[in-house]
Amino acid sequence: MQESADVVIVGSGMGGATLAYGLAQRGVDVLVLERGHRLPKEPENTSPEAVFVEKRYKPNDTWYTVDGTPYAPGVHYVVGGNTKVYGSSLPRLRERDFEETVYPTAVSPAWPFSYAELEPYYVQAEHLYNVHGAPGPDGGDTPPFEPWRSAPYPYPALAHEPYVAETLRRLSEQGVHPATTAMGVDLRPGGRCIRCGTCDGFPCRWDAKSDAEICALEPAIATGRVRLIEGAYVDRVETDASGRIARAVGHVDGEPLEVSGRVFALSAGAANSAALLLRSGVANSSGLIGTRYMVHNNSHIAAIDPRRTNNVVFQKTACVNDFYDDMGDGFPGGTLQCIGKVQASMMKTHATRAPLSVLKPMAARSMEWLVMTEDTPDPANRISLDSQGRITVTWTRTNYDRHELMLAKARELLKGAGYVAIFEQRFDISMNSHMCGTAAGGEDPRESVLDRNCRSHDVDNLYVVDSAFFPSSGAQNPALTIAANALRVAETIPA
């Protein structure tokens, strides 16, 4: 298959689909190449057994640790990328996240632009992805733990169900200020969400989750300026005699694929964009492609109060950001967020030896949380290719002392709220859903792969517009920032 387009985008996830949308608004001719197909709408979408036990929507892909151990990475190769199963929590990073942050044992570097520069695009992204939220604690207007905003959230914050509200009351009694989580679900008046209870980690059969396919790619295609080829795997990009990218080369459904274009934007996700660049042997004068791989320091908590039955349907409405900027010792902590209600069969994927007869009453009395703190970029943590071209990940935790403190704080708060048993699951190398940083942006070509507008320092028609660009990870969910940045970059690509 031979194709051409003005702008060729590789990958249709949060970065690629949003970039396509932004370019379509400017009338640019865009072709999106996506290795996956559309995720089917079927009864299994809402089955915990199908999604979490049988891993129905996970690709048959294997990455390797540096000592050669194979593992299944946390990726989804479908139209819309990882957003088809994401939890659609869509907060902004904070002003401080764009500046250098010094921790006791690590430094988080500054971004090449400020929060103020990205802020108008956060507003656009919140509208594109139908975000519900409120800036202050408990839906109020005073924003002590959120950054300033030039426009209100497009939709009001989601209401807490009674079980969640009672837990938040107990947390408030301990002096913290629980807030509502910024969420991309279609709970507008007449919206598509039916509150099915399977959202976080599941695909949405009703197109009610604000994923990249539904909110950005489909509207982009509807303009008539954006085309999509599904099942199109891009192996590499190739240069012409001048050193500019001339074509993307790969295969579609077993047939060779060659696509020429004026501009090429890689949005294959932090690991695959880096792997694609390494395979292509371009844009790496800094030697940094693949390095500074970050994933956040994340842990899940299941907190059990045997006296209360948790009958919640939509649990992911609350967060505690009191310790984001300061844990009381002058250094930042992170965030504590409710996650979607975890069912017994989902618990079994980790508590493999526990019988369902034990897990079911536990799940009925537990509330689940995510503790997220910042990891910092380390050149030794990296994506590389082994001798067979397979993705190899070198990863050790960074800045983890802050995570330990934040976990201890979360345990203390939850115990104070009446939870007598607290189970933790620290994310391992395979739980890389928040990966970023492998083609970092910056002003200095010796210290970064991309410039401030995600353009390669080396090759002037090559862009990387996904989470690979992040110079540091902050400690908030990344997707809204990826989208806002893609809208910003869309305005800079020459038409």
- Our finding on whether 472 is near ligand FAD (CB under 6 A) is no
Q: What is the DSSP letter of 273?
A: H
Grouping H, G, I as helix, E, B as strand and the rest as coil, residue 132 is strand
Q: How far apart are CA 209 and CA 165, in angstroms?
A: 23
Binding mask 234-253 for ligand FAD (x = CB under 6 A): x-------------------
Q: Of 181 and 417, which CB lies nearer to ligand FAD in the complex structure? A: 181
Give the binding range for ligand FAD (CB under 6 A) out of 29-37, 49-57, 125-133, 377-385: 29-37
Task: Give me the residue whose beta carbon is nearest to ligand FAD.
Answer: 13
Q: What is the DSSP letter of 416?
A: H
Give the binding range for ligand FAD (CB under 6 A) out of 81-89, 163-171, 220-228, 297-305: 81-89
- Our finding on whether 122 is near ligand FAD (CB under 6 A) is no
91 C-beta neighbours (distance < 10 Å), count = 26
Q: Of 35 and 160, which CB lies nearer to ligand FAD in the complex structure? A: 35
Residues 273-292 binding ligand FAD (CB under 6 A) are 276
Among 155, 265, 478, 488, binds ligand FAD (CB under 6 A): 478
Q: Of 276 and 288, which CB lies nearer to ligand FAD in the complex structure? A: 276
3-state secondary structure 323-366: CCCCCCCCCCCEEEEECCCCCHHHHHCCCCCCCHHHHHHHHHCE
Q: How far apart are CA 19 and CA 21, in angstroms?
A: 5
- Our finding on whether 201 is near ligand FAD (CB under 6 A) is yes
Q: Of 34 and 186, which CB lies nearer to ligand FAD in the complex structure? A: 34
- Our finding on whether 10 is near ligand FAD (CB under 6 A) is yes
28 Rama class: left (phi>0) / alpha (psi -120 to 50) / beta: beta
- Our finding on whether 405 is near ligand FAD (CB under 6 A) is no
Q: Of 340 and 442, which CB lies nearer to ligand FAD in the complex structure? A: 340
Q: How far apart are CA 318 and CA 172, in angstroms?
A: 12
Among 9, 23, 36, 362, binds ligand FAD (CB under 6 A): 36
103 Rama class: left (phi>0) / alpha (psi -120 to 50) / beta: beta
Distances in Å between the Cα of 435 and the Cα atoms of 274, 310, 336, 346, 490 are 12, 32, 19, 23, 22
Q: For the CB of residue 424, give the shortest distance to ligand FAD in the complex, in Å.
A: 18
Q: Of 269 and 441, which CB lies nearer to ligand FAD in the complex structure? A: 269
Distances in Å between the Cα of 332 and the Cα atoms of 324, 328, 338 are 5, 9, 20
β-partners of residue 248 are: 237, 259
- Our finding on whether 434 is near ligand FAD (CB under 6 A) is yes
Q: Of 247 and 365, which CB lies nearer to ligand FAD in the complex structure? A: 247
- Our finding on whether 477 is near ligand FAD (CB under 6 A) is yes
| Pair type for strands 63-65 and 391-394 | parallel
- Our finding on whether 474 is near ligand FAD (CB under 6 A) is no
Give the binding range for ligand FAD (CB under 6 A) out of 239-247, 409-417, 447-455, 475-483: 475-483
Grouping H, G, I as helix, E, B as strand and the rest as coil, residue 216 is helix
Among 199, 466, 472, 474, binds ligand FAD (CB under 6 A): 466
Q: For the CB of residue 308, give the shortest distance to ligand FAD in the complex, in Å.
A: 25
107 close to 89: Cβ distance less than 8 angstroms = no
- Neighbouring residues of 210: CB distance < 8 A, sequence distance ≥ 6: 88, 90, 129, 130, 131, 184, 185, 186
Q: How many residues does the chain have?
A: 495
Calculate ∠ Cα 472-76-186, nearest 5°. Answer: 85
* Closest listed residue to residue 485, CA positions, set 472, 471, 469: 469
Among 8, 30, 83, 108, binds ligand FAD (CB under 6 A): 83
Among 22, 48, 74, 442, binds ligand FAD (CB under 6 A): 74
Among 7, 9, 15, 204, binds ligand FAD (CB under 6 A): 15
Give the binding range for ligand FAD (CB under 6 A) out of 1-9, 83-91, 155-163, 317-325: 83-91
Binding site for ligand FAD (CB under 6 A): 10-16, 33-36, 74, 77, 81-83, 85-90, 201, 232-234, 267-270, 272, 276, 433-434, 466-467, 477-479, 482
